[in-house]
A and B are shown apart, each in its own frame.
Chain A
């Protein structure tokens, strides 16, 4: 590992830990910084903690899982975005380009509004199944169309349209105002419902997918000049694409089922990070995981405090920041062409 990689990942890790440490101290409940850290330290086996169980609960059962889920989701979306952009040779690709988020929303709506699963299946599980179903449809469709990158992207667009329409149809015809609002809030992306179970699930999937993607780091580099050039460098293109699309779809589905479709992290952060790391994926992937994590920790802190006591869906804030960045990406692309 080169010095620059060490510095970047080390710096990113330090920034992430510091961000988490600060973010958990911020919130509507009036708990002093010292108390927050004492409570966290006690759960990590250091010190005596705070005496009030309510405060301890707010820190350890609400703020901590929420902050960590923000970090895991930010990291996961950024990694998925970076992989998709290289694999599909499309700078505008993001984790949702294959219709995963739309499928998830349909799955969630089917559970919440239509009552599919009879109350046994949770919203998260419904979203997860919907996401995988949509992805399977995209794979099948792109395969029958020949499997080239533009076919994959077009299949994703088709699936996205289909599932968005299905979701709208169900919501508009069957849902009452209250359910609609709940579903809408979830669709826009929110970390408000974070719990330790979700953190654990997403962290495990993230770790697994990150290890797989790092194993393919040099292979992803090989796609820079296209599929044929990659094949000439010894890459089994079809197999690589299948493995990486499945891995990123699985991670995206897990994240979306817990936190909804938080947009733009996966689109913008990989581009911003490439400016720091260069295009090599062995360096880009771990560093963009860290920048994504830090970014979403802060955006979520903003989302839950800026309109206090009301909460803004985190997806709304990422998009408000993301759209100008998106325009900048387009602008850079135009200048190069």
Chain B
């Protein structure tokens, strides 16, 4: 089996199953969204897929081989990760940060090769950071920092890219920019997201987690139904399909006094 595949993986932390019997197969080139409330196991599942954490049970395979057998460095040449929030106390330029992506490709005691330099240049160009390459990382805005991390991940030349809520803390324009950038990269992507509308817009398939278990999988149109949203997130929503992908409109929960009067509000809330 080619590509990255999680087979019935379990991750136990103390007495809690953070990830409980999840199976995920990635088809090449697809963008898969991981959905679920806080603490549903999205981040842990991504770490299992990256091989940074080992599953308590089950196995993650890359081209049919279990990750521990593939080895850390070889895994990092195939799978790149972008964390939710990256920070450093070290004084680095944007180019330095992007060049970190070449580490799994480089050999000990040898300087970077022409191929390393070319990959960094391409990653900078692809993410629109060429002009900022020599600027300090600390001078970048939140959105630019995330773009730099994506450039770093792209410089790893992965075939699988894993992103953990990369749009957190970004304003809506930067969220859209970032997800468009990710969708434009020629890689298989797994992306944990909070925003259901963004997930519907950018993902080919969705996997919904709740308390560590996979509760739904399929296309956005199959998965994002009012019933599922209520079941998983505990909120009421309307779903329309006018724009080619599902659009979710949340319904305002009834306020206590309105409940008493038997009135239900359906004013859409700003998301």
Chain A residues proximal to chain B, CB less than 8 Å: 1-2, 86, 89, 91, 214-219, 221-222, 224-226, 228-229, 231-236, 274, 278-280, 282, 333, 336
Given contacts A225-B86, A279-B96, whether A234 and B104 have CB atoms under 8 Å apart is: yes
A-B contact pairs, 5 of them (CB 8 A): A219-B103, A221-B100, A224-B88, A226-B86, A232-B50
Within 8 Å by CB of A234, from B73, B87, B89, lies B73
Interface size on B, residues (CB 8 A): 32
Point out the residues of chain B lying under 8 angstroms from A229, CB to CB.
81, 83, 86, 100
Shortest B109–chain A CB gap in Å is 5
When chains A and B are docked, how far (Å) is the Cα of A232 from the Cα of B73? 9
Query: How many contacting A-B pairs (Cβ < 8 A)?
Result: 77
When chains A and B are docked, how far (Å) is the Cα of A261 from the Cα of B91? 29
When chains A and B are docked, how far (Å) is the Cα of A332 from the Cα of B97? 21
When chains A and B are docked, how far (Å) is the Cα of A219 from the Cα of B86? 18
Contact with A along B61-80 (1 / 0, CB 8 A): 00000000000111111001
Query: Once the chains bind, are A231 and B100 in contact (CB under 8 Å)?
Result: no
Query: Once the chains bind, are B91 and A234 in contact (CB under 8 Å)?
Result: no
Q: Considering only CB atoms, which chain A residue lies closest to B102 in the complex?
A: A218
Point out the residues of chain B lying under 8 angstroms from A231, CB to CB.
52, 72
Q: Considering only CB atoms, which chain A residue lies closest to B52 in the complex?
A: A231
Point out the residues of chain B lying under 8 angstroms from A222, CB to CB.
100, 103
Beyond the given A2-B111, A229-B83, A234-B73, please list 17 additional residue pairs across the A-B interface where CB-CB is below 8 A.
A218-B103, A218-B108, A224-B100, A225-B87, A226-B86, A226-B88, A228-B47, A232-B52, A232-B80, A232-B81, A233-B76, A233-B103, A234-B74, A236-B72, A279-B96, A336-B89, A336-B138
CB within 8 Å of A: which B213-237 residues: none
Query: Once the chains bind, are A278 and B96 in contact (CB under 8 Å)?
Result: yes
Point out the residues of chain A lying under 8 angstroms from B52, CB to CB.
228, 231-232
Q: Considering only CB atoms, which chain B residue lies closest to A280 in the complex?
A: B96
Given contacts A221-B103, A279-B96, whether A232 and B76 have CB atoms under 8 Å apart is: yes
Which of A221, A236, A282 is most buried by chain B, counting CB atoms within 10 A of its CB? Answer: A221
Shortest A149–chain B CB gap in Å is 12
Overall SS of chain A's interface: helix
Query: Once the chains bind, are B83 and A233 in contact (CB under 8 Å)?
Result: no
Query: Once the chains bind, are A216 and B100 in contact (CB under 8 Å)?
Result: no
When chains A and B are docked, how far (Å) is the Cα of A86 from the Cα of B90? 8
Query: Once the chains bind, are B90 and A215 in contact (CB under 8 Å)?
Result: no
Q: Considering only CB atoms, which chain A residue lies closest to B107 in the complex?
A: A218
Q: Considering only CB atoms, which chain A residue lies closest to B108 in the complex?
A: A215
Shortest A83–chain B CB gap in Å is 13
Query: Once the chains bind, are A234 and B76 in contact (CB under 8 Å)?
Result: yes
Shortest B208–chain A CB gap in Å is 25
Shortest A150–chain B CB gap in Å is 14
Point out the residues of chain A lying under 8 angstroms from B73, CB to CB.
234
Point out the residues of chain A lying under 8 angstroms from B106, CB to CB.
218
Shortest B67–chain A CB gap in Å is 12
Shortest B118–chain A CB gap in Å is 16
When chains A and B are docked, how far (Å) is the Cα of A216 from the Cα of B107? 10
Point out the residues of chain B lying under 8 angstroms from A2, CB to CB.
111
Q: Does chain A have a CB within 8 A of B254?
A: no
Shortest A275–chain B CB gap in Å is 8
When chains A and B are docked, how far (Å) is the Cα of A302 from the Cα of B93? 37
Query: Once the chains bind, are B88 and A225 in contact (CB under 8 Å)?
Result: yes
Point out the residues of chain A lying under 8 angstroms from B93, CB to CB.
278
Q: Considering only CB atoms, which chain B residue lies closest to A222 in the complex?
A: B103
Point out the residues of chain A lying under 8 angstroms from B87, CB to CB.
225
Point out the residues of chain B lying under 8 angstroms from A233, CB to CB.
76, 100-101, 103-104, 156
Q: Considering only CB atoms, which chain A residue lies closest to B81 in the complex?
A: A232
When chains A and B are docked, how far (Å) is the Cα of A236 from the Cα of B89? 21
Q: Does chain A have a CB within 8 A of B259?
A: no
Q: Considering only CB atoms, which chain A residue lies closest to B89 in the complex?
A: A91
When chains A and B are docked, how far (Å) is the Cα of A86 from the Cα of B91? 12
Q: Does chain A have a CB within 8 A of B92?
A: yes
When chains A and B are docked, how far (Å) is the Cα of A228 from the Cα of B84? 12
When chains A and B are docked, how far (Å) is the Cα of A229 from the Cα of B103? 12
Contact with A along B93-127 (1 / 0, CB 8 A): 10011001101101011010000000000000000
Q: Considering only CB atoms, which chain B residue lies closest to A216 in the complex?
A: B108
Query: Once the chains bind, are A215 and B111 in contact (CB under 8 Å)?
Result: no
Query: Once the chains bind, are A89 and B104 in contact (CB under 8 Å)?
Result: no
When chains A and B are docked, how far (Å) is the Cα of A216 from the Cα of B47? 24
When chains A and B are docked, how far (Å) is the Cα of A234 from the Cα of B80? 10
When chains A and B are docked, how far (Å) is the Cα of A231 from the Cα of B96? 18
Shortest A282–chain B CB gap in Å is 7
Given contacts A91-B89, A279-B92, A280-B96, whether A228 and B83 have CB atoms under 8 Å apart is: yes
When chains A and B are docked, how far (Å) is the Cα of A333 from the Cα of B90? 10
When chains A and B are docked, how far (Å) is the Cα of A2 from the Cα of B47? 36
Within 8 Å by CB of A279, from B50, B80, B86, B91, lies B91
When chains A and B are docked, how far (Å) is the Cα of A215 from the Cα of B106? 11
Point out the residues of chain B lying under 8 angstroms from A274, CB to CB.
91
Q: Considering only CB atoms, which chain B residue lies closest to A236 in the complex?
A: B72
When chains A and B are docked, how far (Å) is the Cα of A279 from the Cα of B88? 12
Q: Considering only CB atoms, which chain A residue lies closest to B137 in the complex?
A: A224
Within 8 Å by CB of B111, from A86, A221, A282, A333, lies A282
Q: Considering only CB atoms, which chain B residue lies closest to A1 in the complex?
A: B111
When chains A and B are docked, how far (Å) is the Cα of A282 from the Cα of B106? 12
Shortest B47–chain A CB gap in Å is 8
When chains A and B are docked, how far (Å) is the Cα of A218 from the Cα of B75? 17
Point out the residues of chain A lying under 8 angstroms from B90, CB to CB.
86, 224, 279
